[in-house]
Structure 1
Amino acid sequence: MSNLKYQHIIKKMTLEQKASLMSGKDFWQTQDILSLGIPSIFLADGPHGIRKQAVSSSQMGFNQGIPATCFPTEATVANSWNIELSEAVGSYLGKEAVSQNVHVLLGPGINMKRSPLCGRNFEYFSEDPYLAGKLAASYIRGVQTHGISACVKHYCAKNQEERSMSLNTIVDERALREIYLTAFEIAVKEGKTKAIMSSYNKLNGEYTNENLHIMVNILRDEWEYDGCVITDWGGSSDRVKGIKAGNELEMPSSGGETDRQIIDAIKSNELAEEQLDECVDRVLDLVLKTSQIGKTPSMPFDVAKHHRISQKMAEESIVLLKNKDDILPIKYNKKVAVIGDFAKEARYQGSGSSQVNPTILENTLECFAESGITSIGYAQGFLRNGKTQKKLVKTACELAQKADVVLLYLGLDELSEVQGLDRKDMRLPSNQIELLNTLYKVNENIVVCLSSGSAIEMPWIIKVKGLLHGYLSGQAGARALLRIISGDVNPSGKLAETYPYRYEDTPTYNHFPGKEASVEYRESVYIGYRYYDTANVNVLFPFGFGLSYTSYEYSDLKVNSEGVTFKITNTGSVPGMEIAQLYIHCQSKAIFRPYKELKGFKKVFINPGETKEITISFDDKSFRYFDIENNSWEVEESSYDILIGSSSQDIKLTDSLFITGTSKQQTYTNHSLKHYQSGQIQNVPSHEFEQLLGYPLPSPLWDRNRPLDYNDSIAQCIYAKGLVIRISFRFFQLIMWLLERTGQRKAYNFLKVSVYNMPFRALSLLTGGKISFQTVDGILLIANGHFFKGIGTILKKKQKGRNDV
C-alpha cells in the first residue's frame, strides 16, 4: 500500500466501503463516504456541450439538460484542423461544466470512422488516428484547465452501434495499435486525460473493460496511465474481472448488486484486496482532485461570448466542396430563394446522450437581414420524415423560377444518425433528391447547404453549382453558414474523412455491420484514405479536401532529420486560412502498409500576396510501424517520400529522406498475405485474415445450442427454449414491424436501442439495481425452458446489496 496516494484514507476504510466506491451512487454521481471526507462527484455527457439532466440524477435516460452552449460536434470540429481553436472550445466547455458543478465531462469521443454507416460518427473526429488524437488532446487540455476531468471515450475499437454491448470486435494487433489505439495514446500522453471510458464491445473475445492486454499491458504499463477508467453506462460484464483489469468505476449505480460480488471475491481469495486498493486509490484521486470545484460558488458563464466562440468554430469547420462558375460568394445584387426544411429548423447536432439543450439557437431565416443577401422568400420543399408531398415541391419550384440563385438546405434528419443504431445506407432521403431534380429543371443556379454528421453519397452533385457542407455546426451554425455564403468569411474547412462515390467502394463494405456475434476488421490498417490511395480507388472528395475563395501556391520545400519547412503564398485577392498537410510514404515494400499516412498538419492565416514559411516537425509517430514479431514499435530502414499537400490526393511538394531503422527483423516473412501487400482488401479470404490474426476465426453467428446468459442480447430470445419468452419476443417483433411500416421511426428507434439490442445484464445495470440480478436470473431460467424454476427465483427474497453493508 506504500505506493498509494491516499493510503491514509484507504487504511481507515472497511472492505464494504471500498467496494461501494467501485460503483456509482445513482445514474450520474459517484458514491460518497462523508465520514471519511469523500464526496460525490457528478459526471455529465458533454462531447460538444454539457448535458446535465434537469431532472434528478437518479433518473436514467436521455432527459433534457440544463441550457448549455451547443458547440459544433467533433465530426464538424475535425474539419477545422485547428488545434488552438479546439483547445479554446475545450476550455469553454470546462468553464460551463464548472458553472453547473459537473466534475467529469464525458468526452471527447475518438473512435475511428471505420465505416460511414456507423450511427455515432457525428460524435467522432476522423478516419485518421493522428488527426483525431491531436484534436482530442487539445480538447482535453482545454477542459482540464478548469480543474475538472475530461473522459475520453470509448476505449476501444467501438465502431458499430448495432449490438455494441455484446459484439465481439475481431482486429489484428497491428491494426489495433496503428489505427484504433493511436488516438487514445495521444490523448493519454499529450492530453493527460484524467479519465477514460471503456467501451461496450468485446475485443478479440474479451470485453474491453476486462481485457488485460489493452487495460494493463498497454494502457497502464506501456503508456504509464495513472488515471481512472470508467465503464460506459451499463458496460460492466464481470465486475471482478473488471477490477482485476483496473476498470475502477462502474456506472451507473448497481444498487449494491456488484458490491457484493467484489466482497465475495476477496473473501474467497479470487481477488486480492491489494488490487481493490489500487482501484480505490485511483477513484479517490479523480474524486478528491475534481471535487475542489464545488468548494467555491459556481459562476455563471457568459452566454453571448460562448455563443460567439461556437460560431467561430463553425465558420472554420464548414467545407466548400464545389464552386462552379464562382457562384459563391453570392453577390449583393442577386435574388435568392431559400428552400428546404433544414433552413427553418436547423439540424445542428446529433441524437442520443450528447444531445444538448442550447442556450441560443439561431435560425437561418432570421439571420438573412444582417447577411446582406437578398432573399425573395422561403419554401419548405420537402417533409423531414422522408415522405413526398407534391404540393411542397410545386411551391418550391414556383419560388425558384423567380430567383437568380437557389439556396437549397438538405441533409439527414435527427432519426437518421442516432446513438445505438447504424445507418442502412449512405443516401439522402429520396424526397430531397426528387426536389433537387425538379428544381434543376427550372433553375440551374443551385447551391446546396448540407447538414449531416458523416459521409453521404452524392450522385446528384452534377446538378448543383455550389456545395457547402456544414456538418452539424452547433447552435450558431446558421449564421456561420450565411457568413460564408455572403463572403464575410472565407471558407477554410477541409474534410476529416473521405467521401467515396458509393458505399460499395468502401473498404468495410463486406464486413459492416458485423453479424450476430462478431464483426471482422478484415481490412486491417486500410481504412479511409489509407485504402483508397493504396488501392487506387477513385473517390468523390479525398481526405483533407476543401475549397477556398482564394488560391495558394506552395514552394521551397526543405527536409532534414528534424522535420520540414516550406512556403505558402496567397495568390488570390482575399485573405484566407490554408491547411497544409504532411504525408509520408515508405519506399520499401518489405512490410505492407498504406501508400501514405498523415503525420503532421498546420493551419495558417495568409493575406493576399503574402508568403508564410511553415514548419512541421517529425515526432515519434512519423516513421513507426508496429512490429508484431517483436511486439514493439519499430522504424523500418528505408528512404521515405515526404509529401506536402492541400489534401491526401493534391500533393504540392515532394522530397525524400533516408531513415535508419531500429530493427532488421522482417515481419510477416512466414505469411502469405497478398491482399494486404497489394491493399486490395475488400475480399480478403478467411484463411488470410486468420494468418494475420494468428488464430482461427470464431463463428460470427450466435451459438443456438447453448442457453442464453447475461451477455446475450434480448434479440437472441428468438432462439429461447422457453415457449413463453419466444412467443412474447415474436409479439415484440410484430410491434416493431408495425412501427417501422407506419413511419413511427422515433418509437421504433427507441425500442431497437433500449430493448432489442440490450443484453440481459443491462436490465439490472441500467436500472440502478431496481431489477436485481436475481430477477434477471429468473428471466433467463424462463427463457431457457425452466418456467417454474424461473418464477420461483424471481419471487425469492432479494439478495442483500449495498443498503445492507
Structure 2
Amino acid sequence: MIIPSTQSPASATATLDVDAVLAKLTLKEKAELLSGIDFWHTAAVPRLGIPSIRLSDGPNGVRGTRFFNSVPSACLPCGTAIGATFDTALAREIGHLLGDEARAKGAHVVLGPTINIQRLALGGRGFESFSEDPALSGFLAASYCAGLDDKGIAATPKHFTCNDMEHERMAVDVIVTKRALHEIYLTPFRLAIADGHVPAVMTSYSKVNGTHASENTYLLEKVLRGSWGYNGLVMSDWFGTYGTSEAVNAGLDLEMPGPSRFRGSLLTHAVNANKVSIRAVNDRVRNVLELVKRAQATGIPENAPENELNRPEDRQLLRRLAADAIVLLKNDDQVLPFAPSKSVAVIGPTSRIATYCGGGSASLNPYEAVTPWEGIEAQAKGALSFAQGVYGHQMLPLLGKRMRTDDGQVGFSLRVYNDPPTGPPTPSSPDTRPLLETKHVTDSNMFFVDYNHPDFNKNGIWYADAEGTFTPTESGLYDFGLSVHGTGRLYVDGELLVENVENQRLGTSFLGSGTVEEVNSKTLEAGKTYRILVQWGCSKTSNLVAGSMIDFGHGGMRIGACRRLTPEDGIAEAVALAKTVDQVVLCVGLGAEWESEGEDRVTMDLPPNTDNLVAAVLAANPNTVVVVQSGTPVTLPWVGQAKAVLQAWYGGNETGNGIADVVFGAVNPAGKLPLTYPRRLEDNPAHVNYRSEAGRVLYGEDVYVGYRYFDRAGIEPLFPFGHGLSYTSFSLEDLVISQAEASNDVQVSVKVTNTGAVAGSCTVQLYVAPPVWEPRRVPAVPQRPSQELRVFDKVHDLAAGASAQVTLNLDAKRDTSYWDETVDSWCSREGLYRIRVGQSSRDVNAVEGTLTIKETTHWQGLSP
C-alpha cells in the first residue's frame, strides 16, 4: 500500500507537473492513487513528489480528521438555515470562514455543501441541504463554493444526485424522469459548477434509474463531463463504491474512504484482464493529480497538525448567521420584539439544550454551543425564570458535560485497554489490566470510527472504561441510558444499573449500526456525588448484526441520564410560571437524534407531549413566542392559538444568542422559508412514495416538488415557500423589464420601500410563469409548474421610509426553459411569460410584468 509521504513542507509545496508524473507512475501506483488510505487522506507517492492531501467533513463546519474527541470547530447553522437567508453574499462569507477553518485543520478539501432537494420534510439529512428549490440551492451553493475557492480550498458539492432519503440509501433505485432529474435534482449542481469554481463533486449512495450513481455513465460521463464540460474530480461518498470496473469506466476518480475495497490490486487485475483500459485509468489518475496540484498551491503541509481558530470575528459572523436565518412565521398584534426590562419565563424542552446541529456526518464538536436560556439570560434585564415543561428527547440527554473527573474537570476519563474487564474495581479488587492510554473527554456520545492505538491487539478487539462523578442538583428518580455499537455495562456507585451485552436490540444509533438505548432508573439525592462507570467493548465483542451496509470500525457508546419528569407535572409547573410573568419564550423542536443521517423521520410531529405543553402555555399567557428548532418543517396544531412563532432551525455555535437577538429586537428578522411549511404530512405529494419498496422509490411527483405542487394542486400551505415577516413592512412597485435585443440578458428593476417604523432587510423574489399553450396546437409541450423561482436578491438594512432600486438579472433562455424529453435537451419555448416579483411565492401584492420569447430554441450545457 502507498503510505503518506514524510517529505518536508517545502518539497510538498513544489508545483506538480501532472503530465510528467503521470508518465512515470507504475500501474500499481496509479491504482492505489485512486482510493484513500484511511478515512480522510489520499495516497502519496514520495518518489515522485506526490503528497497525501486531506479531506474533511463538511457542510456545517470543518471537523478535521476525528469523529471521536475531535478538535473543536466553528459550527455553522444547518443547511436549511443558510437557505433561509436567501443571501448569496453571506454564503460567500461562509465559504471564507470554512476556508480559514480548513486551513486550521490542515484540510485541503471540504466535503460540502450538501445541495440535494428535500422532497419531503421527513428526510434524515433534510437539514443539511439548502432548499426544496433548485435555483435557491444552486445560487447559494455557487457562492459558498466560490468563497472556499477564494481561500484556495476545494469545495465538494454533494451528493450527485437524488440523495434525499435514508431508507435503504445504498440499495434503493431512484426511478425519476429525465425531466425531473434535470429541472429539479441536477440544477443545483449545474448552477454551482457554472459559477462556483468547483474542483470536486461527490456521488450519492443510491441507484438512479437502475445504476448506482458512482457507476452511472449517464450522470458522470454524458451529463457531468459531457454536456457540462466538467473537468474536476469525482469522488464516492464514504463506502459508496460498489465495484471495480464499473465505477472506473463510468468516471469515478476517487474511492473513499481507504483502505480500498475495490481498487488497488483488484484494479490492476481488471486492467490486465482488459475490463478497464489504461486510458480510463490515466483519465482517473489525472483528475486526482490535478486536485493534488491544487492542494499543493494552498501551502497547507502534508499531515498538518489540527488547530482551533475560534476568532472573535468568526463568532460575530456565526451570531449574525444564526439571527439572519431565523424566520418570523407569525407576529400577531406585534407581540415581538419583547422588552428586555419586563419579566421573562423561558420554558420548554430545548431551552437549556444547545440544539445547534443535526446528526450524522454533518455534526461536529463546536467551540461552544449557546443555549436559548443562555442567550436570553445575557440580554434580559427584568426577572428571569425557567420551567422545563416536558422533555423532548428521543434518547436520554447526554451526561458527559454534567460529569466531573477526579481532579474536578468538566467531563470524564476514558481509559483504554486490550483486556476485558472483570467488573467494577473495588479497594479489595483493583483493576490490574495494562493501561494503553487515558483521555479526558466531555462528549458522552463517542463514535470511535477513526480512533486507533498502535498497541491494540492484532485481532482488533479492545475495551474502554468511561468514568466520572455526577452530582445532581435535584433529588428524584433518575433514568440512565446506554446505547452501544459493541457491548457495555453501566454502573452507579458500583451497582450494575444497565446491561447492554446479551440479547441486544438493533436501533438507529451510530448511523444504524448500534443498539437501542437500554434504560434503568435509580433514586438520587441532590448534592450527593455518585460515581458513574461504563465498561465498554468494541464492535467485535457484539453478536448484533448491524443494519447498515457500512463498516464503522471500532463502534461507539452513548451515555445519557436525566431526572424523571411526568408530562402532567411538568406542564402544570410551566403553566403556573407562565401566569406570573410578562413574557414567555417557549422553546420546542427536534434535534440531532430526531433528524440524523441514517434514518428518516416517520412523522412531522414534534416529540410526544410537546404540543400539549405549547397549547397549555399559550392559554396561560398569550404574550408568548414559540421558538421552533428543527431542520425541516414540523406540524404546528396550535399555530392558530399562537400570536408569535419563530422558526429558528439549528443555529450553530451561536444559536442561543441568535434567538435572543431576534426575540429582543437587536436584530430585525429577515429570514425566508426555503421549504414550504405544509399543514399536514398528507398535503405533500411525496408522502405516498417516500421509502424504498421492493428496492425502489418512485419520484411520482415528477417536477412538482414543494411549492410547485402546492401551487398546481391549489393547496393552501401553512406557510408558503419564501414566507417570512419582519418587524417592519415593505412595498414593491414600479416594475420595469428591460430586454436587450438579440441577447439573453434581461434586467428586471423594482423599487423597494420600507413602509414601517424601523430599519430592516427585504428579500426580493422573482418567479417566472410559463405561457398557457393550447395542447392541440403544441402537443409536445408538457404541463409546467404555475411559477418557478428564478432569481432573488436582498436589500440590507433599509431605513424606515427609505427606498432602494433593486435590479434582478435574468437569462431569458435559461430562465424560461424546461427539459424537453423528446430531444433530451433544454427548450426555451416561444411565447409570453409572466414575471412576478414579490416577497414570497404566495405574495398577493407581488408586482407583475411580461417577457416575450420570440422563437423556440434548444440548448445543452451549463447555460445557453
Where on the TM-score scale, by shorter chain, does this alignment land: which range? Answer: 0.7 to 0.9
What residue number does 1:384 align with?
392
What residue number does 1:591 align with?
782
What residue number does 1:394 align with?
572
Deviations 1:364-385 (A, max 9, x none): 3333344245343011111133
Distance in 2, matches of 1:594 and 1:264, equals: 50
Distance in 2, matches of 1:373 and 1:79, equals: 30
What residue number does 1:79 align with?
84
What residue number does 1:631 align with?
824
1:300 to 1:443, Cα distance in 2 relative to 1, 3 A: closer
Task: Indicate the larger mover: 419-428 or 367-376.
Answer: 367-376
Preserved contact between residue 375 and residue 659 of structure 2 (Cα < 8 Å): no
Distance in 2, matches of 1:300 and 1:49, equals: 12
Residue 602 of structure 1: which of 790, 793, 803 is its match? 793
Task: Indicate the larger mover: 384-393 or 331-340.
Answer: 384-393
C-alpha displacement of 1:68: 0.7
Preserved contact between residue 392 and residue 588 of structure 2 (Cα < 8 Å): no
Distance in 2, matches of 1:658 and 1:5, equals: 51
C-alpha displacement of 1:417: 0.3
C-alpha displacement of 1:571: 0.7
What residue number does 2:293 align with?
288
1:645 to 1:97, Cα distance in 2 relative to 1, 3 A: same
What residue number does 1:727 align with?
none
- Structure that is richer in helix per residue: 1
C-alpha displacement of 1:302: 4.8
Deviations 1:248-280 (A, max 9, x none): 000011446521221111111111101100110
One-letter identity of the residue aligned with 2:765: Q
C-alpha displacement of 1:333: 4.2
1:424 to 1:369, Cα distance in 2 relative to 1, 3 A: closer
SS in 1 for 2:652: coil
C-alpha displacement of 1:152: 0.6
Please show how residues 183-262 of structure 1 align to structure 2 within 5 Å. Answer: 183-255=188-260, 258-262=263-267
Preserved contact between residue 103 and residue 300 of structure 2 (Cα < 8 Å): no
One-letter identity of the residue aligned with 2:135: Y
1:223 to 1:353, Cα distance in 2 relative to 1, 3 A: same
SS in 2 for 1:95: helix
One-letter identity of the residue aligned with 1:584: V
Task: Indicate the larger mover: 299-308 or 44-53.
Answer: 299-308
Distance in 1, matches of 2:842 and 2:324, equals: 22
Normalization by structure 1: what TM-score?
Answer: 0.79
Preserved contact between residue 140 and residue 191 of structure 1 (Cα < 8 Å): yes
Preserved contact between residue 712 and residue 786 of structure 2 (Cα < 8 Å): yes
Residue 15 of structure 1 pairs with residue 27 of structure 2: yes
Identity %: 37
What residue number does 2:765 align with?
581
C-alpha displacement of 1:300: 6.0
Preserved contact between residue 101 and residue 293 of structure 1 (Cα < 8 Å): no
Residue 314 of structure 1 pairs with residue 340 of structure 2: no
What residue number does 1:42 align with?
54
Preserved contact between residue 107 and residue 300 of structure 2 (Cα < 8 Å): no
1:664 to 1:145, Cα distance in 2 relative to 1, 3 A: closer
What residue number does 1:796 align with?
none
Preserved contact between residue 20 and residue 256 of structure 1 (Cα < 8 Å): no
Residue 110 of structure 1 pairs with residue 115 of structure 2: yes
Please show how residues 356-371 of structure 1 align to structure 2 within 5 Å. Answer: 356-371=364-379
What residue number does 1:545 align with?
723
Gaps of 5+ in 2: 1-15, 395-564, 740-745, 774-780, 860-864
One-letter identity of the residue aligned with 2:848: T
SS in 1 for 2:238: coil
Distance in 2, matches of 1:462 and 1:388, equals: 27
Residue 648 of structure 1 pairs with residue 648 of structure 2: no
What residue number does 1:565 align with?
749
C-alpha displacement of 1:389: 3.1
Please show how residues 587-736 of structure 1 align to structure 2 within 5 Å. Answer: 587-589=771-773, 590-605=781-796, 606-619=798-811, 620-651=813-844, 652-663=846-857
1:370 to 1:253, Cα distance in 2 relative to 1, 3 A: closer
Preserved contact between residue 114 and residue 128 of structure 2 (Cα < 8 Å): yes
One-letter identity of the residue aligned with 1:251: M
Preserved contact between residue 336 and residue 373 of structure 1 (Cα < 8 Å): no
CA root-mean-square deviation: 1.8
What residue number does 2:65 align with?
53
SS in 2 for 1:565: strand
Distance in 2, matches of 1:388 and 1:271, equals: 64
Preserved contact between residue 604 and residue 633 of structure 2 (Cα < 8 Å): yes
Distance in 2, matches of 1:588 and 1:442, equals: 52
1:64 to 1:523, Cα distance in 2 relative to 1, 3 A: farther
Preserved contact between residue 53 and residue 63 of structure 1 (Cα < 8 Å): no
1:415 to 1:369, Cα distance in 2 relative to 1, 3 A: closer
C-alpha displacement of 1:341: 2.5
One-letter identity of the residue aligned with 1:645: G
One-letter identity of the residue aligned with 1:359: Y
One-letter identity of the residue aligned with 1:126: S
Distance in 2, matches of 1:301 and 1:383, equals: 34
Distance in 1, matches of 2:853 and 2:566, equals: 60
Gaps of 5+ in 1: 55-61, 666-805
One-letter identity of the residue aligned with 2:157: V
C-alpha displacement of 1:209: 1.2
Preserved contact between residue 303 and residue 359 of structure 1 (Cα < 8 Å): no
Distance in 2, matches of 1:601 and 1:257, equals: 44
C-alpha displacement of 1:301: 3.2
Distance in 2, matches of 1:166 and 1:350, equals: 24
Residue 440 of structure 1 pairs with residue 632 of structure 2: no
Please show how residues 744-763 of structure 1 align to structure 2 within 5 Å. Answer: none
Distance in 2, matches of 1:171 and 1:270, equals: 30
C-alpha displacement of 1:245: 1.2
C-alpha displacement of 1:149: 0.7
Normalization by structure 2: what TM-score?
Answer: 0.74
Distance in 1, matches of 2:239 and 2:625, equals: 45
Distance in 2, matches of 1:328 and 1:148, equals: 41
SS in 2 for 1:608: coil
What residue number does 2:349 align with?
341
Preserved contact between residue 102 and residue 108 of structure 2 (Cα < 8 Å): yes
Preserved contact between residue 342 and residue 409 of structure 1 (Cα < 8 Å): yes
Preserved contact between residue 71 and residue 308 of structure 2 (Cα < 8 Å): no
SS in 2 for 1:338: strand
Preserved contact between residue 382 and residue 431 of structure 1 (Cα < 8 Å): yes
Residue 486 of structure 1: which of 657, 664, 668 is its match? 664
SS in 2 for 1:406: strand
1:5 to 1:110, Cα distance in 2 relative to 1, 3 A: farther
Q: Work out the number of aligned pairs and report it.
A: 655
One-letter identity of the residue aligned with 1:615: T
What residue number does 1:407 align with?
585
Deviations 1:675-705 (A, max 9, x none): xxxxxxxxxxxxxxxxxxxxxxxxxxxxxxx
Distance in 2, matches of 1:420 and 1:182, equals: 25
SS in 2 for 1:408: strand
SS in 2 for 1:392: helix
Task: Indicate the larger mover: 311-320 or 327-336.
Answer: 327-336
SS in 1 for 2:102: helix
1:663 to 1:256, Cα distance in 2 relative to 1, 3 A: closer
Preserved contact between residue 159 and residue 203 of structure 2 (Cα < 8 Å): yes
Deviations 1:509-555 (A, max 9, x none): 21112313000001110000011011111110000000000011111
